[in-house]
Chain A
Amino acid sequence: MSIEVRNITKTFGNFVALKDVSFKVETGELVALLGPSGSGKTTLLRIIAGIDVPDERGGAILIHDEDTSGTSFRERRVGFVFQHYALFRHMTIFENVAFGLRVRPRKLRPSEDVINQKVSALLELVQLDWLGDRYPSQLSGGQRQRVALARALAVEPSVLLLDEPFGSLDAQVRKELRRWLRRFHDELKITSVFVTHDQEEALEVADRVVLMNQSRIVQVGTPEEVYHHPANAFVYNFLGNVNLFHSRVEEGKVYLGDIPIDLPSEAAEDAKTALVFVRPHLLEIELQPNGSDHFRAKVEHINAAGPVVRVELITDWGDPVHVELSHERYRALGLQRDAEVFVIPKERKVFTDHSKPFGSERELP
């Protein structure tokens, strides 16, 4: 079942939570709504579910090409997993999962046997069949999360919506659970949307990512698309660590230290300043200039604990720079604190106006 969001606007008093938002989720897709906190993503999810109502501005939510406005939760049949699970604290896990079946009108309510079978099957699916008679308070965060998922699936939803599904779990459980969610989705093939502020999570789990900032959608695309072809400075900045240089534009060129960089073709003619972004792993350190474009910097701090070595540098003109190196490279260079080095940007991105969506990618020759 597809989901279509059409021109949705939502205001809370003077605060605009969503500004004319539109996008479509195809049947069977797993889509991430990604954005910083306050970008409107949870509001959007709650509007799709019908928990919140959008402003009357001619917008609509369509599920399976049918307008859902004015329909009841029963008709809409969305599965919703709350950030803090919202399990019924006075019911056992079994009863939590059975709830959606038990509250059906008498004619549509399955028999006790069917409910038993169904709930058992769901608990097995989320690998918690041995916890049926416990209470939510006796479960760990990851287990509660899966109960919430089973409870949402019990009503055979047409779409599944998850609000920060891994938000309140610790790092290790988070990683396990998001791989599990991906496999789970591949098995069930149910159209799903999840909200997250964690770019790593979105890029790893989702088929497509909807990036939101300041109540608007900034970019929609596959994880590869948004990572390699970010629509604007915000997206580039948000999807991973970056070094940011504020540069002046002179005679159609941007300068990163002494390195001249062409302005992107879409750039505004009269741009006076530009932002240059370089990812930490796309900077190379050399002890001697090797003919490539470079700028000079001094080593401030080295952190060699972890899969990569993180080096903090400070440029001639006083900007801090973060570089990530492999351990081999680090040993070969024999870097020390206060060493003077040459930094070679292998790839960089230039944005002249970070509020407007355009961008380009430029490789060095």
Chain B
Amino acid sequence: MTEPLWIKSLLIGLAVLFLAVFLILPLVVVFTEAFKKGIEVYFASITEPDAAAAIRLTLLTAAIAIPLNFVFGLAAAWAVSKFDFAGKSFLVTLIDLPFSVSPVISGLIYVLLFGLQGWLGPWLAAHDFKIIFAVPGIVLATIFVTFPFVARELIPLMQTQGSEEEVAARVLGASGWQTLWRVTLPNVKWALLYGVILCNARAMGEFGAVSVVSGHIRGFTNTIPLHVEILYNEYNSAGAFAMASLLTILTLVTLVLKSLIDWRSRIHSSSTAVVDEGIIA
């Protein structure tokens, strides 16, 4: 309010420039590169068998990882925020662990555990289970990396909401399940959805951890990000950018959904509270 005009314009200008160079320009580049050789090449490169397999695998991985995360995140947040028990802060640290570990290390852990030279490798090989360099490994690594997303969204919200409403529901005669479905879940639905969207974005975009366990077998163990890398290394930039554009679209959709949820939950809680402010921000 009190700053002179030139300072205001300078700061705003800098911010806009920064946004343009680091966000908008790359976005434009992705799509121009993807469509450089025409729309036919674009569609051909995302429908050729290996690309289609990569897309299918990515969707499959997300389809497995997200529901598991949903259930786990909700259960963990519920336990952490509504109960007091020994080792609670240790559990919270464990939940956060994947955030602080490099994804490559996360992948490597699974190789050390389930790989042929790993702890469980010989046993798995003997029973003909294939985890590393196969789909199960990719799913496991993705689950590990996306582990904290839902729980992290829910814990602060559920902590501020406390458990009084749940107690009220129980006193009114509701069973445990009724309390979960009618009170707990509706109260956290927006944060839960938000967590799922973030989790989905990460699950589809994960590179490091998946790269270690995948083995890069074209048509079998390549996810979209891995396929992008392969194409790029083969100087097939149109193909690489076409695949990359898919992930970019996912990002944009995520962004729009996030804003919508943000807006929706703000309306929902406009007069209620301060309580909901923190979570979405």
**Do A and B belong to a common assembly?**
yes
The chain A residue sitting closest to B273, CB to CB, is: A137
Q: With a CB–CB cut-off of 8 A, which chain A residues contact B187?
A: 88-90
Evaluate contact between B173 and A74: CB separation under 8 angstroms. Answer: yes
Evaluate contact between B269 and A151: CB separation under 8 angstroms. Answer: no
Evaluate contact between A82 and B172: CB separation under 8 angstroms. Answer: no
Complex formed: what's the CA distance from A137 to B165 in Å? 14
Kindly specify which of B44-52, B122-130, B175-183, B243-251 makes contact with the partner chain. B175-183
The answer to whether A127 has its CB under 8 Å from any CB of chain B is no
Complex formed: what's the CA distance from A90 to B169 in Å? 13
The answer to whether A226 has its CB under 8 Å from any CB of chain B is no
Kindly specify which of A99-107, A243-251, A293-301, A345-353 makes contact with the partner chain. A99-107
Interface string of A85-96 (1 = CB under 8 A from B): 011111100000
Complex formed: what's the CA distance from A73 to B174 in Å? 8
Identify B165's interface contact among A77, A78, A88, A138, CB under 8 A. Answer: A88
The answer to whether A194 has its CB under 8 Å from any CB of chain B is no
The answer to whether B87 has its CB under 8 Å from any CB of chain A is no
The answer to whether B171 has its CB under 8 Å from any CB of chain A is yes
Return B82 CB to nearest CB of chain A, in Å.
14
Evaluate contact between B172 and A151: CB separation under 8 angstroms. Answer: yes
Return A29 CB to nearest CB of chain B, in Å.
21
Identify B167's interface contact among A51, A78, A103, CB under 8 A. Answer: A51
Q: With a CB–CB cut-off of 8 A, which chain A residues contact B178?
A: 103
The answer to whether B89 has its CB under 8 Å from any CB of chain A is no
For the side of the interface on B, what is the size category? 20 to 34
The answer to whether B164 has its CB under 8 Å from any CB of chain A is yes
Evaluate contact between A155 and B172: CB separation under 8 angstroms. Answer: yes
Interface string of A121-145 (1 = CB under 8 A from B): 0000000000000011110000000
Q: With a CB–CB cut-off of 8 A, which chain A residues contact B273?
A: 137
Q: Chain A at the B interface: mostly helix, strand, loop or mixed?
A: loop
Q: With a CB–CB cut-off of 8 A, which chain B residues contact A100?
A: 172-173
Evaluate contact between B272 and A82: CB separation under 8 angstroms. Answer: no
Q: With a CB–CB cut-off of 8 A, which chain B residues contact A253?
A: none
Identify B272's interface contact among A77, A86, A89, A99, CB under 8 A. Answer: A89
Return B268 CB to nearest CB of chain A, in Å.
8
Evaluate contact between B271 and A137: CB separation under 8 angstroms. Answer: yes
- A80-B171 CB under 8 A given contacts A89-B272, A99-B182, A137-B273: yes
Return B172 CB to nearest CB of chain A, in Å.
4
Evaluate contact between A86 and B168: CB separation under 8 angstroms. Answer: yes
Interface residue count on the A side (C-beta < 8 Å): 28
The chain B residue sitting closest to A135, CB to CB, is: B272
Identify A90's interface contact among B164, B172, B174, B186, CB under 8 A. Answer: B186
The answer to whether A84 has its CB under 8 Å from any CB of chain B is yes
Return B107 CB to nearest CB of chain A, in Å.
40
Complex formed: what's the CA distance from A91 to B174 in Å? 15
Q: With a CB–CB cut-off of 8 A, which chain B residues contact A80?
A: 168, 171
- A103-B171 CB under 8 A given contacts A137-B271, A137-B272: no
Evaluate contact between B271 and A103: CB separation under 8 angstroms. Answer: no
The answer to whether B88 has its CB under 8 Å from any CB of chain A is no
Identify B269's interface contact among A49, A103, A137, CB under 8 A. Answer: A137
Complex formed: what's the CA distance from A354 to B182 in Å? 51
Evaluate contact between B173 and A88: CB separation under 8 angstroms. Answer: no
Evaluate contact between A103 and B175: CB separation under 8 angstroms. Answer: yes
Return B81 CB to nearest CB of chain A, in Å.
16
The chain B residue sitting closest to A79, CB to CB, is: B171
Q: With a CB–CB cut-off of 8 A, which chain B residues contact A89?
A: 165, 187, 272
Return A145 CB to nearest CB of chain B, in Å.
14
Q: Chain B at the A interface: mostly helix, strand, loop or mixed?
A: helix
Q: With a CB–CB cut-off of 8 A, which chain A residues contact B182?
A: 88, 99, 103
Q: With a CB–CB cut-off of 8 A, which chain B residues contact A86?
A: 164-165, 167-168
Identify B171's interface contact among A73, A136, A137, A138, CB under 8 A. Answer: A73
- A51-B171 CB under 8 A given contacts A86-B165, A90-B186, A137-B273: yes
Return A119 CB to nearest CB of chain B, in Å.
13
Q: With a CB–CB cut-off of 8 A, which chain B residues contact A84?
A: 164
Complex formed: what's the CA distance from A49 to B167 in Å? 11
Q: With a CB–CB cut-off of 8 A, which chain A residues contact B271?
A: 137-138
- A82-B173 CB under 8 A given contacts A89-B272, A90-B187, A137-B273: no
Complex formed: what's the CA distance from A87 to B273 in Å? 14
The chain A residue sitting closest to B166, CB to CB, is: A86
Identify B168's interface contact among A74, A77, A82, A104, CB under 8 A. Answer: A82
Of residues 190 through 247 on chain B, the ones whose CB sits less than 8 Å from some CB of chain A are none
Evaluate contact between A73 and B164: CB separation under 8 angstroms. Answer: no
Complex formed: what's the CA distance from A335 to B186 in Å? 65
Residue of B165, B168, B171 contacting most chain A CB atoms (<10 Å): B171
Interface string of A142-170 (1 = CB under 8 A from B): 00000000011011000000000000000
The chain A residue sitting closest to B189, CB to CB, is: A90
Complex formed: what's the CA distance from A98 to B221 in Å? 53
Interface residues of A (CB under 8 A from B): 49-51, 73-74, 77-78, 80, 82, 84, 86-91, 99-100, 103-104, 135-138, 151-152, 154-155
| Pairs A-B, 10 closest by C-beta atoms | A137-B272, A100-B172, A103-B174, A86-B164, A86-B168, A74-B173, A90-B186, A137-B271, A80-B171, A103-B178
A–B Cβ pairs within 8 angstroms, 26 of them: A50-B171, A51-B167, A51-B170, A73-B172, A77-B173, A86-B167, A87-B168, A88-B168, A88-B183, A89-B165, A89-B187, A90-B186, A90-B187, A99-B169, A100-B172, A100-B173, A103-B175, A103-B178, A103-B182, A104-B173, A135-B272, A136-B272, A137-B271, A137-B272, A154-B172, A155-B173
